[in-house]
Amino acid sequence: MSILKEKTVAASKTEVSHLLCNKDMNGAGRLFGGQLLMWIDEVAGIVAKRHCECNVTTASIDNLQFKEACYLNDVIVLIGYITHVGHSSMEIRIDTYVEKSNGQRFPVNRAFFVMVALDENDRPTEVPRLIISSIEEQAKWDAAEKRIELRKTRREEGF
Ligand SMILES: CC(C)(COP(=O)(O)OP(=O)(O)OC[C@H]1O[C@@H](n2cnc3c(N)ncnc32)[C@H](O)[C@@H]1OP(=O)(O)O)[C@@H](O)C(=O)NCCC(=O)NCCS
C-alpha cells in the first residue's frame, strides 16, 4: 500500500525577480509579453515540481492581463504558490509585480496554471495532498474548485 505524502503551501512557494534588460523589451520599449509568459511558466513549473517532486507539464493557463507597463531597469517580481491539488493536477497561482526604484510594487498580472505531474512513462501520476493551514488557504482552495468546474465546462464546449 502506498502512503501518499502531504505538503504545505509554504513548502513550494517560490519568489523570483528579474531586472529588465534590452533583450526583454518589445519595439515600443515595454516588457515583451512573451518574455513575461516564459517567466510565469517557469515559476509555475518550479512550484509544481517542488510540490510533487517529479516532472510536470503545463495543461492550461488562465488569464494573462497587462495592468501596468514595465520599462527598462524595472524589477519584475513573480510570486507563485499552489492553491489546489486534484489526482494528478495542481493549480498554481502566480502574481507578477513591477517594483519601482523606491521599492513600491504594482500588480502587473495574476495567472492560474494547471500543472500535471508525470511519471517515468510520461503519464499523469498522483500528487501529494495539500495541507490547508489557514482560512485564506481554504478560501483559495474553494475558489480553485470553481475554476476547475469552469475549465471543465469550457473544455466540453470546445472553448
Ligand atoms: C496535460 C496532459 C498530460 C493530460 O493528459 P490526459 O491524458 O488528458 O490525462 P488525464 O485526462 O488523466 O488528465 C490528467 C489531469 O489533468 C487535468 N487536465 C487535463 N487536461 C486539462 C486542461 N486542458 N485543462 C486543465 N486541466 C486539464 C485533468 O483534469 C486531470 O486532473 P486530475 O488528475 O487532477 O483529476 C496531456 O494532455 C498533455 O501531455 N498535454 C500536453 C502538455 C504540454 O506539452 N505542455 C507544455 C506546453 S506546450
Long-range CB contact pairs, 25-33, < 8 A, 24+: 25/71, 25/72, 29/71, 29/72, 30/69, 30/70, 30/71, 31/69, 31/70, 31/71, 31/74, 31/76, 33/64, 33/66
* Closest to 55 in 3D by CA, of 88, 84, 80, 87: 88
Distance 65 CA to ligand 1 centre (A): 24
Share of the chain above pLDDT 70, in %: 98
> Residue 37's CB: how many other CB atoms inside 10 A?
14
Distance 109 CA to ligand 1 centre (A): 24
Q: In this structure, which residue's CA is closest to atom 48 in ligand 1?
A: 58
pTM beyond 0.85, yes or no: yes
Tell me which of 3.30.2350.10, 3.30.1490.20, 3.20.20.70, 3.10.129.10 is the CATH number of domain 6-156. Answer: 3.10.129.10
Cβ–ligand 1 distance for 58 under 6 Å, the answer yes
When mean pLDDT is compared across 2-11, 20-29, 88-97, the lowest value belongs to 2-11
Q: Where are the domains of the chain?
A: 6-156
Distance 113 CA to ligand 1 centre (A): 11
Give yes or no for residue 1 having a pLDDT over 50.
no
Round the average pLDDT of the chain to a whole number and report it. 94
Distance 19 CA to ligand 1 centre (A): 33
Cβ–ligand 1 distance for 89 under 6 Å, the answer yes
Check residue 3 and give its pLDDT: 62
Q: How far apart are CA 38 and CA 42, in angstroms?
A: 6
Share of the chain above pLDDT 90, in %: 88
Q: How far apart are CA 29 and CA 72, in angstroms?
A: 7
